[in-house]
Structure 1
Amino acid sequence: MILVFGKNGQLAKELAVLEGVTCVGREVADLSNPDACSTLIRALTPAAVINAAAYTAVDKAEDEEELATLINGTAPGAMAAVCAELAIPFIHVSTDYVFAGTGEAAWAPADPVAPQNAYGRSKLAGEVAVQKAAGAFAILRTSWVVSAHGNNFVKTMLRLGNERKKLRIVSDQIGAPTSARAIAVACLTIVDALIARTNKSGVYHFQSTPYTSWADFARMIFAEAGLSCEVEDIQSSLYPTPATRPLNSRLDCTTLKNIFGISRPDWHADVRDILKDLEVYP
């Protein structure tokens, strides 16, 4: 059995439908209580653990950094420590927000980290704690997660595209939408390798291809959904938010391909699948 922390999030929803996976929500183990997470792992002794739960309110984290760090930093560290003790592989999902978000080159796993907001700092704290536990682990950084579940850019654009004739969307933030379904499958591939004692612990990147902007992503959604909403490109400086967003969210996924054979999926195809799940197509 693979134990997944998280039940209602986008990734957890996709993991839940895969064979051999048991997802638990905060009613069973709340990440704001790291000891409860450790206790559950000891009680169940699963074959592997995936942490798909997180504090993800990026702007709110600016005012709640202590809570964000408890959930995103202390809790995964506690999970990883118990997993290391019991020789259980541990997968932790992280984010491109641990980087400075500058330049145009794709970030490699070994590049220097320099988070620019509270959320990024809290996720980096989790990465450091997981590595410190020194068990069999994989930290999987990803970006712009989308699915047919929960709140995400695809669903927001569908709603706003039906309500408005024109939207102003930032065009200077470059990255790639990555489907939660693809991330879930990648997690299980990594789990299988770590269970086999392949000594492939490390930090990896997983992101779809090709790189794009939020504005062009929105255009694709509107085109596929048959919405006539016009997109006006704007700079991030014209859309200020409490938390600084990275302009460069490009991730270099070469190591993941070389070590696990996991290729970058085309996000256009994955978004079309999401739209099918949402019954957008006639």
Structure 2
Amino acid sequence: MTDVTGSLQAAESAVSAAREIFLNELGAAPALHKGPGDFATAADLAVEELLRTELTGSTGIDVVGEEHGGQLSQEACWVVDPIDGTSNYSAGNPNCAILVTLLLECQPAVAVVDAPLLNMRLTALDGQPVHLNGEPLPRVGTATAAAPHVGIGSVFSRDRPRMPSNQRVELAGELTRVGLRPRISGSVGVDLAFAAQGIYQAAVSFSPHVWDNAAGILLARSAGAVATAGDGSRWEPGKTGAVVGNPAAHAAVMRAIESVQARTGEEE
């Protein structure tokens, strides 16, 4: 049986070590071009290598990462995004984070989201409250004095089949029309972390990658938010996207997504 408390300690220790590289290399130029508009810096590669060494060495559990891949295990595996929001990181934009998640039986059980430039480290164990910089957070509520903010990450798409760029732009407009306020940060990890804290009332990820979504799903669940895959079903690896938020905001976002997809589908 996996020791989740010990695994969280191991994850925090690994992330703390990776912080030094993260901070020292801030503003690093692209070192590896993976496709149009998509690249990794030397810091992405170095951080992932360090995380792999530390996590596997301390827990004996294999790692799947954005830069060096790996094989998902049905029993237990770590998934890591060494720098979520690489384009932001390379430009010195503080909306970027290290994401580390332990999956047990294909569901997130341990998560660390560390955004050093925002002084924001969120941690979660399945079934326990979210902690911010070591302090427990209250569960997210439904009331807000301001118009509800919704993080939508990015409108750029490299031909993502579920929601390409034109639909993302349409979604931003649709959210505005129904009284929500979309926010574009360029970092899925930051968006989902903000939703877990109630800074955003909801957040949407369009990413199909497990390392982008897993940590935020656990943070949202632990914060008492609704957390689903992009189509509203139960999240699991292999499903595209994520939608998290308080119940009212989550429902409003799902209606907006369905409306946009129906409308753009008719136009085609």
TM-score, reference length from structure 1:
0.28
Instruction: State the structure with more CA Rg.
Output: 1
TM-score, reference length from structure 2:
0.29
The structure, 1 or 2, with the larger RCO (C-alpha pairs under 8 Å, 6+ apart) is 1
